[in-house]
A and B are shown apart, each in its own frame.
Chain A
């Protein structure tokens, strides 16, 4: 108990220390989060009428972000865990980072759901036994359960590994391995359940296609790893943490396969709807071509498709995959492409045209965008804090001091510039 407390106090001291760049970054995130909180207070006061949602399009930007982030959370873990279990060293070293990303993404998911509901004061109705969770009937109840389980699972694994490393002990494999194994089906489950949440609605033909869950998984395997690669490159460049090229290139290669499947499944869906040409074509037509003169989503989805196809080529060709300029470009394109395709591109056409074929074109209001940016900033803040603790621990710069109680902090800066990094390298070499 005492150990846990001194570890916790140590992390608090640790996150308060950093370079100027670190303070600026954290300050910027907190400022944006602050604007988000103000926006949310305004929304609480006036109701969801401040959003552009209406009875016709009853879910919008918030749920789009939620859906996308569930994918990021799932994929972050799915990719690194197998490597951890099968001991492929380059990826094993970064497995914990994947879990931390998953934790941050789930936190964002929960925040996006919270800002979307009309009565957040009644959240306790969802707690089993205290409220009345409609389990197993409602897929939303399933989602509540699996998301929280997944969050807990990741927190337990990551915190345990970091805590043991901090106290210079080797994490107990007979404890971590079963949990790691469990987190693989859990990651698939959160994504499948979220897909089923849409999938099971006969009222919405755009979602009521059995290809939806596989599409969800495929697109998640694109966006999650793309985010991770960018994160890895940034970490490698601006902190003392080392990540091997081999790990990054492996992840990039996996994106290529996932994107191929994703594009194929989307194509299969497009073929089925267009060739059949039934009334169920309307939402897809609205998305790709516009319907009765309404075409707000058309430029977006084509941007997404072009991005996804270009990125597929970048990741397929080894030369461009290994060139870090094209690699970053590809990652940004995948991330944006999937964000559009699986966010607004998935949620909104479910409602346009609506069940009585009325067309209401939805575009998020300023408040929705501010609140969403606030949530993203909060999520990135959580991720930064987690990494601020995890990276020094993994580097051996943050561990229990010789007295066994206080903590040793070897990394005061966290974010360092390139030149500083070179200087440190020289210092290390001269010492040798």
Chain B
């Protein structure tokens, strides 16, 4: 991604969106009754790109969203925008020889990250593969459904966003609605995405998902601890993806991603790639690493291991 030199404010120039906003307020005043609801619709419409918001504006946006969600779901929802921790770069390891294909990670992810329940959106896809054939995608079974797992002769490969160092998805976005954060997490501004789905065509891992319809999320299942760039409820018509549970992992003290925490066999490892004493660094240095679609040079920070 290009850096945002064009985002820097020139104090003398007229703020382009202030002008638009002024216009909008005029139109809104004419067309709509001056209620709180309509005001918030216009605020949402003219909201700036996340990375262009000043501290004050960001605070207002977070307050507006939190109020909206709280009203919609009938319970207190917090929306935070915790920034990246200085000097940290997240990495994820998945031990292919341990994974049993139980899909607990898939559903832990759904309930942690407030994905739509109907239609179901899953950020993790687990493929069942033949041990004899190795990682041969043309033989992958995506919808395996036996009475119990693992099945003889098979191994399992969960795929989610690989948080590439060279992400093909962010560079294609026509409006810079998706980018790589300092800690290496690829995020989407759901209020800026225009829903063109070019990033979905560009992603080699099928990690990006679109809100084809209005997300259905029962209030009692809503996770109220949300992050602006992560698990807050998503509007219709935008793209979403795994964020390494940004609402958990950026906290201090941090928590592991939900998928890591739930894994019953310890196949999932998570940590700071910049910390020489982290578990993920130990695995990289001591185990056999497999990089998915290595030839595309996307440089994933989601690594597969054969650790046993």
Please report A residues at the B interface, Cβ cutoff 8 Å. 46-49, 51, 53-56, 58-59, 113, 116-126, 129-134, 137-141, 144, 197-198, 200-204, 279, 282, 350-351, 353-358
Contact between chains at B17 and A140 (CB < 8 Å)? no
The B interface, classified by DSSP as helix, strand, loop or mixed, is loop
Contact between chains at B212 and A48 (CB < 8 Å)? yes
> Which partner residue on chain A sits nearest B171 by CB separation?
A137
> Which partner residue on chain A sits nearest B48 by CB separation?
A132
Given A47-B212, A118-B211, A358-B142, 18 more pairs with CB closer than 8 A? A49-B119, A55-B208, A55-B209, A113-B196, A116-B197, A117-B194, A122-B194, A133-B174, A134-B176, A138-B171, A139-B172, A201-B168, A201-B172, A201-B201, A202-B204, A203-B202, A356-B127, A358-B140
> Which partner residue on chain A sits nearest B178 by CB separation?
A134
Question: Which residues of chain B are within 8 angstroms of A121 by Cβ–Cβ distance?
Answer: 45
A119-B238, A355-B203 known; A282 vs B197 contact (CB < 8 Å): no
Contact between chains at B238 and A279 (CB < 8 Å)? no
> Which partner residue on chain A sits nearest B19 by CB separation?
A130
Q: Report the bound CA distance from A160 to B202 in whole Å.
A: 41
Question: Which residues of chain A are within 8 angstroms of B193 by Cβ–Cβ distance?
Answer: 118-119, 122
Q: Report the bound CA distance from A351 to B196 in whole Å.
A: 15
Question: Which residues of chain A are within 8 angstroms of B213 by Cβ–Cβ distance?
Answer: 46-49
> Distance in Å from the Cβ of B45 to the closest Cβ of chain A?
7
Contact between chains at A55 and B196 (CB < 8 Å)? no
Which B175-211 residues have C-beta < 8 A from chain A?
175-177, 192-198, 200-206, 208-211
**Which residue in A54, A123, A125, A353 is a CB contact (below 8 Å) of B138?**
A353
Please report B residues at the A interface, Cβ cutoff 8 Å. 1-2, 16-17, 20, 45, 49, 52, 119, 125, 127, 137-138, 140, 142, 159, 168, 171-177, 192-198, 200-206, 208-214, 235-239, 296-298
Closest 3 CB pairs of A and B: A118-B195, A118-B237, A49-B213
Contact between chains at B20 and A130 (CB < 8 Å)? yes
Q: Report the bound CA distance from A132 to B235 in whole Å.
A: 20
**Which residue in B16, B174, B200 is a CB contact (below 8 Å) of A138?**
B174
> Which partner residue on chain A sits nearest B7 by CB separation?
A132
Contact between chains at B236 and A137 (CB < 8 Å)? no
A59-B201, A201-B201 known; A125 vs B175 contact (CB < 8 Å): yes
A48-B212, A117-B194 known; A55 vs B296 contact (CB < 8 Å): no
Contact between chains at A133 and B175 (CB < 8 Å)? yes
**Which residue in A51, A140, A201 is a CB contact (below 8 Å) of B174?**
A140
A47-B236, A134-B174, A356-B206 known; A123 vs B201 contact (CB < 8 Å): no
> Distance in Å from the Cβ of B166 to the closest Cβ of chain A?
10
Question: Which residues of chain B are within 8 angstroms of A279 by Cβ–Cβ distance?
Answer: 137-138
Contact between chains at B210 and A138 (CB < 8 Å)? no
Complex A-B: 8 CB contacts under 8 Å? A55-B209, A58-B201, A119-B235, A125-B192, A133-B174, A134-B171, A138-B171, A139-B172
> Which partner residue on chain A sits nearest B190 by CB separation?
A119
A130-B20, A138-B172 known; A58 vs B202 contact (CB < 8 Å): no
Q: Report the bound CA distance from A358 to B298 in whole Å.
A: 21
Question: Which residues of chain B are within 8 angstroms of A201 by Cβ–Cβ distance?
Answer: 168, 172, 201-202
**Which residue in B52, B174, B204, B211 is a CB contact (below 8 Å) of A144?**
B174
Question: Which residues of chain A are within 8 angstroms of B171 by Cβ–Cβ distance?
Answer: 134, 137-138
Q: Report the bound CA distance from A49 to B236 in whole Å.
A: 10
> Which partner residue on chain B sits nearest A128 by CB separation?
B6
**Which residue in B177, B202, B203 is a CB contact (below 8 Å) of A125?**
B177
Contact between chains at B119 and A355 (CB < 8 Å)? no
Q: Report the bound CA distance from A343 to B171 in whole Å.
A: 25
A119-B193, A125-B177, A202-B168 known; A130 vs B210 contact (CB < 8 Å): no
Contact between chains at B238 and A141 (CB < 8 Å)? no
Contact between chains at A354 and B206 (CB < 8 Å)? yes
> Which partner residue on chain A sits nearest B205 by CB separation?
A355
> Which partner residue on chain B sits nearest A137 by CB separation?
B171
> Distance in Å from the Cβ of B122 to the closest Cβ of chain A?
9
Question: Which residues of chain A are within 8 angstroms of B195 by Cβ–Cβ distance?
Answer: 48, 117-119, 122
Q: Report the bound CA distance from A203 to B169 in whole Å.
A: 10
> Which partner residue on chain B sits nearest A125 by CB separation?
B175
> Distance in Å from the Cβ of B232 to the closest Cβ of chain A?
16
Question: Which residues of chain A are within 8 angstroms of B176 by Cβ–Cβ distance?
Answer: 132, 134
Q: Report the bound CA distance from A130 to B138 in whole Å.
A: 45
> Which partner residue on chain B sits nearest A123 by CB separation?
B194
> Which partner residue on chain B sits nearest A208 by CB separation?
B296
Interface centre among B49, B140, B174, B296 (most CB of A within 10 A): B174
Question: Which residues of chain B are within 8 angstroms of A58 by Cβ–Cβ distance?
Answer: 197, 200-201, 210
Contact between chains at A48 and B142 (CB < 8 Å)? no
> Distance in Å from the Cβ of A135 to the closest Cβ of chain B?
8
Question: Which residues of chain A are within 8 angstroms of B174 by Cβ–Cβ distance?
Answer: 126, 133-134, 138, 140-141, 144
> Distance in Å from the Cβ of A197 to the closest Cβ of chain B?
8
Contact between chains at A355 and B204 (CB < 8 Å)? yes
Contact between chains at B173 and A134 (CB < 8 Å)? yes
> Distance in Å from the Cβ of A207 to the closest Cβ of chain B?
9
Q: Report the bound CA distance from A190 to B56 in whole Å.
A: 42
Question: Which residues of chain B are within 8 angstroms of A202 by Cβ–Cβ distance?
Answer: 168, 204, 296-298
Contact between chains at A203 and B201 (CB < 8 Å)? yes
A134-B174, A350-B201 known; A47 vs B211 contact (CB < 8 Å): yes
> Distance in Å from the Cβ of A61 to the closest Cβ of chain B?
14
Question: Which residues of chain A are within 8 angstroms of B52 by Cβ–Cβ distance?
Answer: 132
**Which residue in B17, B140, B175, B297 is a CB contact (below 8 Å) of A356?**
B140
Q: Report the bound CA distance from A120 to B235 in whole Å.
A: 13
Q: Report the bound CA distance from A188 to B136 in whole Å.
A: 40
A49-B212, A133-B174, A138-B198 known; A356 vs B1 contact (CB < 8 Å): no
